[in-house]
Structure 1
């Protein structure tokens, strides 16, 4: 910008740039809601390792949306979360396994729905039978030597 512009002229050009950005590169639909959902974690001091998380879809997610079972594996630091997702009517059944195994707390959060909670058994297995469809995160409350909370990346089921 020229330094000799008056504030009104500067504002005019800034408004023009903002308009072009909105027209040429708009915010994707639902992005704000997904971001708010991803940040809405009850424990502010939770160890959230989203940046380090890698997830591997061992079957096409199209199968999950299509009603057949699908397996997704999340690697978050030293934790592995494997879930098998099976559509049951308007909901999903989630069968999951945690490594390292243990009686860890498991929450499945789906945007605009109540949280589903359970505790994994000593072998790390957990089941949730009525999980709604939608933008989903799994939150694991690790017990044992280093208690912490881990959150998987967000996926749409």
Structure 2
């Protein structure tokens, strides 16, 4: 299809729509159906994206994955450990199946009396206080899209900081 000024119209993939035959269009329609069947958009994608960005305090630092030991086994029977880091903080958390959900045992390095919030989509947040050594534990974490938010204790003269991890699918 050409525009009013005679220019060719291209779709978002850069395909010249004027040069497609009826067979091309049928093939593209079949490919669309095939991709919808073999690799559909996750039904909860919008919810997961909204969960990941719905933080009350948008002034957060995002931690990065450092090590994920056997994360493929999250749904398995054994404990799993994942490590996240930002410039001056390491967050290590082990999680093991417990009842209908998980138990989290974690450590913050350097330690201190920081607040750790566990967010799970569709559930209320649970908080735990880390001890001076940085250890914290949270029982009864439900299954689902999960994220840790660490509210660092405010040292003298420094501004409060909040660290958020990437989401985990438990």
TM-score (norm 2): 0.74
Structure 1 unaligned regions, length at least 5: none
- CA deviations 1:48-71 (Å, max 9, x no partner) are 325xx23311x2113321121111
Give per-residue Cα distances to partners, 1:13-53, cap 9 Å, x unaligned.
87xx9xx79x3688721221111000110223x32325xx2
1:49 aligns with 2:48: no
Q: In 2, are the aligned partners of 1:105 and 1:117 still within 8 Å (CA)?
A: yes
1:139–1:152: 8 Å Cα contact kept in structure 2? yes
Q: Is the 8 A contact 2:84 2:165 kept in 1?
A: yes
Paired with 2:41 and 2:61, the residues of 1 have a C-alpha distance of 24
Between the two proteins, the alignment pairs up a number of residues equal to: 148
* Contact 1:49 1:77 (C-alpha < 8 Å) held by counterparts: no
Residue 4 (1) aligns with residue 4 (2): yes
Q: 1:2 to 1:77 in 2, by over 3 A?
A: farther
What SS class does the counterpart of residue 37 from structure 1 fall into?
helix
Query: Structure 2: any 5+ residue segments left out of the alignment?
Result: 16-27
Of the structure 1 ranges 107-116 and 74-83, higher mean CA displacement relative to structure 2 is found in 74-83
User: CA–CA distance in 1 between the matches of 2:152 and 2:2?
Assistant: 56
Is 1:60 the counterpart of 2:74? The answer is: no
Contact 1:92–1:130 under 8 Å retained in 2: yes
Q: TM-score, structure 1 length as denominator?
A: 0.79
Does the 8 Å contact 1:106/1:140 carry over to 2?
yes
SS of alignment partner, residue 48 of structure 2: helix
Instruction: Tell me if the contact between 2:93 and 2:107 (Cα under 8 Å) persists in the aligned partners.
Output: yes
